[in-house]
Chain A
């Protein structure tokens, strides 16, 4: 199956700090998605990327679709306590007729007030 490595697995940061996490794949993707999941809830879409090199922001969040199509990163600036949760990346293979997204294992973010 496809491999998608997400790092770091977990992070403890001070409120106000910036955060960076990334995903790398062994295959080329044509779509990268970033989700956040709060405890007991479903993942909520944060940012969707459809084009290599694309840099997209959503408030304090910025994500980029790597130029090689094999990686993506998510940055959170000036973290606040409500940023706590698990962040997942997901990618869809290029040219695949499949409906399947490949998900990373998640980055668990803890923010210390």
Chain B
């Protein structure tokens, strides 16, 4: 139990579907992240929210849309995805000003068919 909870753990969706990934952190942190992990690639940072404001967006396609309604919750809204978007999507959180050590959730396995 890392204090960062992601749902669903597994998701299969068609290219025309709209779905969302949810993340909740119970660590009292003030920054939250979405990472993408594909086979044989380093972890790729997608989005960062600090104090509920998006502070980084690493050239992620618009078919991925993040939402951070409060400091404990983070969503990743998915629509019209492509098969190459199939990957493990990891949520993480950290406390800025305390070394920024980030803690990951267990991940959501996404398969786009």
Contacts and interface: CB of A to CB of B under 8 A. Distances in A.
Interface residues of A, number: 24
A23 to B, nearest CB: 12
Contacts of A100: 45, 48, 56, 58
A41 B42 contact: no
Interface residues of B, number: 30
Interface in A28-65: 31, 33, 35, 40-45, 48, 50
Contacts of A33: 101-102
A103 B104 contact: no
Interface string B1-29: 01010100000000000000000000000
A96 to B, nearest CB: 10
**Which of B33, B42, B58, B104 has the most CB atoms of chain A within a 10 A radius of its CB?**
B42
Contact of A43 (B45, B58, B104, B109): B104
B42 A103 contact: yes
A99 B2 contact: no
Contact of A41 (B92, B101, B106): B106
A42 B56 contact: no
B42 A105 contact: yes
Given A40-B109, A41-B106, A41-B107, A99 B31 contact: yes
B113 interface: no
B50 interface: yes
Contact of A35 (B48, B100, B104): B104
B100 A31 contact: yes
A101 interface: yes
A104 interface: yes
A48 B42 CA distance: 19
Q: Which 6 A-B pairs have the closest CB atoms?
A: A42-B104, A103-B43, A42-B107, A99-B48, A103-B42, A42-B106
Interface of A: 4, 31, 33, 35, 40-45, 48, 50, 88, 90, 92, 98-106
